[in-house]
Amino acid sequence: MTNNISTNLDELIEQEHRRAADRIAKLKRAAAAEQQGDLYNRLAREAADALAAYGQGAARDFFLEGVLALPDDVAEMIRIFVHDEVVLSVPRDHAEDVKQAVISAFESVQLPCVESISVPVLADSAGPEVTWAGCK
């Protein structure tokens, strides 16, 4: 007995540690070989990922500009953001006015463009509905 563990069990544990270390070493070698693989494909993939991240970040920024452009009384009605949607809790008799205010705020966002090019921002509404699940 070594520290209340039988020598046999101690040896089994040591063998499992060695096997695990061997598996980890193989995985590291495979990952390193993959990284050194086709440089062009890797660079193309990284460039595409960078553009996607830029586009997603820009879309988020423009979305938040629309949120910040909302009138204060409408902004107080926001309950949650779901991806590129704003869910509001609005009194039924004000639904149409609030809907138009939200669409106007989002469509007022100016996208940065070169020279005289203008890119319109379009907004739409899927409501009003009693629950968010009812909006389509």
Model confidence pLDDT, tens digit, residues 45-70: 777 787 777 777 788 888 899 999 99
**H helix intervals, the chain:** 7-35, 39-68, 72-75, 95-107
Strand partners, 2: 5
pLDDT of 7 > 50? The answer is: yes
> Is 101 in contact with 80 (CB distance < 8 Å)?
no
Categorize the per-residue pLDDT at 73 as very low, low, confident or very high, splitting at 50, 70 and 90.
Answer: very high
Q: What is the pLDDT of residue 37?
A: 60
Q: What is the pLDDT of residues 99-132, one digit of tens each?
A: 999 999 999 988 877 787 888 888 988 878 887 7
pLDDT > 90 fraction of the chain, expressed in percent and rounded: 26
Q: In the structure encoding, which two tokens stand for residue 12, read together?
A: 């089994």
pLDDT at 1 over 50: no
Of 57, 54, 78, nearest in space to 68 by CA:
78
Adjacent-strand bridge partners of 87: 80
The alpha carbon torsion through 21, 22, 28, 31 (nearest 10 deg) reads -140
pTM (whole model) above 0.75: no
